[in-house]
Structure 1
């Protein structure tokens, strides 16, 4: 069971459920968090609330892919984890050492450490949904998408569902100095989530998600990679526990769990590229890439 948001009629946001046979049912709740609150107040699961709501309803004629989709949840905050996969560690080492992979770095240390790397990524106002433009940072020459599984969390750390996330990254800025991480990760149009939330209770094994990333340029596929969340070094509950440690989070917070798909080292995104990130059982998050005008700065 997946939950989506889309615009109906005169740009009215609507919540809907998508069944595994692709039928789409409009729900009475205004958003995902209202659905969760109702389930908590009634002492039942979000899935039970949805099943009750659609029991006597008729599906709409459109498929999910035909709808003007929005972010499935307006996440008050998006956080992200780094170096949680071996491939990510190797890529970070390449950036930091100029390709000297036999040199031990702090990325090796954090990969093996008990404490994970967790950083702030985005807010609701900065996060875009499916088919919305992601922007290239104007002062970077080496930029890539980072396809990641996102955990949709309650304020107490419960995993409510799973979504697809794109943690855009500037490899040259982070590689120049790790203290530049916020600038390598956070800028206008650097984060997207969607197209749906897979309810956690409908997932048998969250470490069996298959992730695929495709990048197209001028209609031609130039990058494709696949991975599995089974390659994740850490457990989701461990990542969530560290996010909550001496920290307050809010209902609907999304935690991106790291990437295992990194394009070839010679690749960088360009204006007009199209990024597709697919996670089995959730859907395909599609975003076009745009350059943004450079604003003159007086120093």
Structure 2
């Protein structure tokens, strides 16, 4: 069972549940967070709430692929874990030009994971909205990741897809530049759906596939499994909530195991697709923000 948010005509966005058979049922909640809180207040699971609603309603005529999908949950915060896969560790070492006993080697083997604040509600975008590339970076890539949707107590409510955009040259120059290498306008995309955790038999068997298209041609594709993740989800969450305030609907991205070749960088006009069967495909065009700024300036001059 998946939960989505879609644009309903001229009205407000609509929350809905999608069955494995593809039927879409509207849900009577303003957003995913209010849905979570209703389940908690009634001491029921999210899946139980959905099943009760479906028993007394009919599916809408449209299928999920026919809808204009929006950000499935407006999280106050999106956090991310780093160096949770050996591929990520090796990529960080390469960009930092170190070979042995680096900070990345140490954190990969350490008891404490690397966690950092990736995005906030107003910075996070959803499906089909452009991700931006930084104007001061020459080496930028998407980072396809499984995202955990948690409640304020740290319970995993669902799973989603995240694109943790990254500037490899900025992070490689100095690890203290991590916030600038990770956080900028439209650098975090989430969607297209949230798979309820109760409906996932083995969360370590998700297969993540990333495809990048340029001028209509596929220039990159790779896949990896969450089975390669070194740390358990509960371990990552336990460090996030330790002595911290977390909110219902917080997302924790669990790290990437897919890294394009070292000579690859995103360009304006590219298209990024991240697919996880059972959740969906998160698609975002790539845009250079300077071009958008120039267009805004031109429009103002015309006025």
* TM-score normalised by L of structure 1: 0.96
1:219-234 residue pairs with structure 2 within 5 A? 219-234=216-231
Do structure 1's residue 164 and structure 2's residue 177 form an aligned pair?
no
Do structure 1's residue 242 and structure 2's residue 239 form an aligned pair?
yes
Q: Which residue of 1 aligns with 2:300?
A: none
Do structure 1's residue 140 and structure 2's residue 124 form an aligned pair?
no
Cα distance in 2, alignment partners of residues 256 and 112 from structure 1? 19
Cα distance in 2, alignment partners of residues 262 and 177 from structure 1? 19
Cα distance in 1, alignment partners of residues 145 and 42 from structure 2? 33
Cα distance in 2, alignment partners of residues 44 and 292 from structure 1? 44
Cα distance in 2, alignment partners of residues 204 and 240 from structure 1? 19
Q: Which residue of 2 aligns with 1:67?
A: 67
Do structure 1's residue 116 and structure 2's residue 134 form an aligned pair?
no
Query: Does the residue aligned with 1:293 lie in a helix, a strand or coil?
Result: helix
1:207-286 residue pairs with structure 2 within 5 A? 207-286=204-283
Query: Does the residue aligned with 2:125 lie in a helix, a strand or coil?
Result: coil
Deviations 1:124-160 (A, max 9, x none): 1000000001000000000000000000010110101
Q: Cα offset for 1:167?
A: 0.3
Q: Cα offset for 1:108?
A: 0.5
Cα distance in 1, alignment partners of residues 192 and 162 from structure 2? 9
Q: Cα offset for 1:170?
A: 0.2
Cα distance in 2, alignment partners of residues 164 and 204 from structure 1? 17
Unmatched tracts of structure 1, length 5 or more: none
Q: Cα offset for 1:68?
A: 1.1
**Contact 2:83-2:89 at 8 Å conserved across structures:** yes
Deviations 1:33-67 (A, max 9, x none): 22111111211111010011011322112221221
Cα distance in 2, alignment partners of residues 161 and 185 from structure 1? 24
Q: Cα offset for 1:112?
A: 0.4
Q: Cα offset for 1:71?
A: 0.8
1:53-202 residue pairs with structure 2 within 5 A? 53-97=53-97, 102-202=99-199
RMSD: 1.3
Query: Does the residue aligned with 1:215 lie in a helix, a strand or coil?
Result: strand
Greater than 3 Å deviation, 4+ residue runs: none
Query: Does the residue aligned with 1:151 lie in a helix, a strand or coil?
Result: strand
* TM-score normalised by L of structure 2: 0.95
Q: Which residue of 2 aligns with 1:30?
A: 30
Unmatched tracts of structure 2, length 5 or more: 294-303
Q: Cα offset for 1:6?
A: 0.7
Cα distance in 2, alignment partners of residues 186 and 127 from structure 1? 10
**Contact 2:36-2:248 at 8 Å conserved across structures:** no
Cα distance in 2, alignment partners of residues 229 and 107 from structure 1? 20
Q: Cα offset for 1:103?
A: 2.8
Cα distance in 2, alignment partners of residues 179 and 40 from structure 1? 39
Cα distance in 1, alignment partners of residues 50 and 175 from structure 2? 45
Cα distance in 2, alignment partners of residues 43 and 246 from structure 1? 26
